[in-house]
Chains A and B, each alone.
Chain A
């Protein structure tokens, strides 16, 4: 088998294994709930029968291994379980399917994340590569210092500064990103401008610094010096010698930061009251709605693992040393 293919398959297997273990951890979290949890959800007035029925629905009367496979099987068919909220002590069940809650919000979050990525990735790569090429110049120092400062800002600080400046003092964009499903595309872009801008500012700083470090690291390698010494023009050194080896670190940087976006999106969605999956998760945590928390955590973790996996695979596939084995 080709070594590249073998390594890729190994990584894929490792990713599936990680996802499996993560799903066990997330599932096991329900086990750690205090024993009187059914009473806590249903309220003090719950009758013994309602509590027993609720416990049966959660499957608490069955061994954990069977419950895990029931859960993961249902999950594979898109059934994420039923939300805890909307249940009452009398046994009336007005709760909703988790999948129904999560679905549209996941779309909104993906919209916000992709909008951010489309702005942030080219910008950060451009800033990072130019700063690395003009290393120690005034431009490099200015960009590096300002990004070091923005890295230290919590997301909500950046968000509120933008709201203050662009939302209230000079009202250019709406400060509440209240999108609905029927909204036309450009209205949607306009409404989500501020959250996307916030995320862009946060993420560009990280991505730019990592790109710069990766490129500087690369330009210091002996074969680049060799190419320069034998008289190659600078453009050719960058394009023919540096770039093929730069794909792996750049892909890693992008994937790492898109994974970071997954986390940053939670806080930003809450600030702008954006109906996304991050806000859903925070609400579910406050009301201790475990099935929703589990579903959101699993989605976030899976995205995170997947992005890291893609970066790994791009790194392997583009690695010239692996492509041309001795």
Chain B
């Protein structure tokens, strides 16, 4: 920007001041203005990522290590007790962060890859291809996704791979709708037409011309979609048809330790044990929602509050 200026220009000088701030400084300024809920959300998300990345270092025992005493109470040896076959609950909570979040993240990425690609193609095409994809998506969205996922899982069997594929395809329908609706407005812009006229391929127009201009709603949608996928996987695992044991996973853990809740009157800590993995799920979704809310306020008037 600066090396092209000739002579004095006020706009360039103002521009210079703006470019002098690195993205790090700008991020810091934004952070200082952020509401407390968003800061809370960011800290919680950072904590979860840290735990997920360093799970083997943080966990006191191995993921599937079995101890003789099942349903052990909270103690120094097992800070949160053990589950129905004697596995340390704290260890499985820590590994659960890695498995549950990792799986949900991969699924969301795949859903976005499918949804955004199809959405951009439909928005550029605007004729029979758009009609075919859109009507197909309408039908898929007419079936509640949890019910559809349950049906498909009963056919293909429960494995991590089928779980990722099924949920990614079902959720890509929502991503497709959003992408198509925002990209339709951008696809008719002059600069897109210019790119097409100078002979750029479909891939270039999608990635370099349209995608950068529809980023903010997509980023916000990524956060919300992640929450939704995360809750769906947790619900399916809780129902016993999602992530299969011995992989540690929060939804499955709630199911496995649910019986302990009956003993809450005699030992409150035991009664709280099944709530811990559920609370871990809830806290992360609350945190992501807070951050997304803040992001939406900042980038656009998508929400009514300003």
| B143–A297 touching, CB < 8 Å | yes
- Contact present for B304 and A216 (CB under 8 Å): yes
A304 to B258, CA, bound (A): 30
- Count how many chain B residues have C-beta atoms less than 8 Å from C-beta atoms of the other chain: 52
Residues in B with CB closer than 8 Å to A226 are none
With A148-B289, A157-B278, A297-B148 already in contact, the answer to whether A285 and B154 are too (CB < 8 A) is yes
Contact indicator A262/B143 (Cβ below 8 Å): no
Contact B147 A290 (CB under 8 A): no
Which B residues are CB-close (under 8 A) to A160?
254, 258, 261, 274-275, 278
Residue count of chain A within 8 Å CB distance of chain B? 54
Q: Which of B36-56 contact A (CB under 8 A)?
A: 37
> Majority SS of interface residues in chain B?
helix
Taking the closest CB of chain A, its distance from the CB of B228, in whole angstroms, is 10
Q: Specify which chain B residues have a CB less than 8 angstroms from the CB of A308 in the assembled complex.
A: 142
Complex interface bits, A280-296 against B, C-beta within 8 A gives 1, otherwise 0:
01101110111001101
Q: Which residues of A contact B254 (CB under 8 A)?
A: 156-157, 160
- Picked from A18, A161, A259, A293, the residue with its CB within 8 Å of the CB of B154 is A293
| Cross-interface CB contact of B150 among A22, A163, A281, cutoff 8 Å | A281
Interface residues in A107-139 (C-beta closer than 8 Å to B): 136
Asked whether, in the complex, the Cβ of A284 is within 8 Å of the Cβ of B154, the reply is: yes
> Which A residues are in CB contact (< 8 Å) with B304?
213, 216-217
Q: Which of A5-13, A26-34, A227-235 contacts B (4 or more CB under 8 A)?
A: A26-34
In the complex, what residue of chain B is closest to A141 when comparing beta carbons?
B305
A134-175, CB under 8 A of B: which get 1 and which 0? 001000000001001101111111001101100111000001
Whether the Cβ atoms of B144 and A304 lie closer than 8 Å is yes
Instruction: Verify if A270 is at the interface (C-beta below 8 Å from B).
Output: yes
The contact string, 1 if C-beta is below 8 Å from chain A, for chain B 253-265, is: 0100010011111
Task: Please measure, in the bound complex, the distance between the C-alpha atom of A297 and the C-alpha atom of B146, giving whole angstroms.
Answer: 10
A89 CB–B CB distance under 8 Å: no
Interface residue SS majority, chain A: helix
Determine the distance from Cα of A154 to Cα of B139 in the docked complex, in whole angstroms.
Answer: 26
- Whether A266 sits at the interface, judged by CB under 8 Å, is yes
Q: Is A322 engaged at the interface, CB distance under 8 Å to the other chain?
A: no
A25 at the interface (CB under 8 A from B): yes
* A18 and B275 form a contact (CB under 8 A): no
- Residues of B near A216 (CB, < 8 A) are 304
Chain A, 298-319, CB within 8 A of any chain B CB = 300-301, 304-305, 308
Contacts of A161 in B (CB 8 A): 275
Q: In the complex, are the beta carbons of A263 and B147 less than 8 A apart?
A: yes
The answer to whether B264 and A164 touch across the interface, beta carbons within 8 angstroms, is yes
Query: Considering only CB atoms, which chain A residue lies closest to B281 in the complex?
Result: A154
Task: Check if A53 is an interface residue, CB within 8 A of chain B.
Answer: no
Contacts of B286 in A (CB 8 A): 148-149, 152-153
- Docked complex Cα distance between A300 and B143 (Å): 8
A126 to B251, CA, bound (A): 34
Any chain B CB within 8 A of the CB of A267?
yes
Q: Which of A163, A270, A289, A297 makes the CB contact (< 8 A) with B239?
A: A270
Given contacts A154-B238, A157-B254, 4 further A-B contacts (CB under 8 A): A33-B155, A259-B144, A262-B147, A293-B150
Q: What are the nearest 10 A-B pairs in CB distance?
A: A152-B285, A157-B278, A285-B154, A152-B286, A168-B264, A300-B147, A153-B282, A297-B151, A263-B144, A301-B143
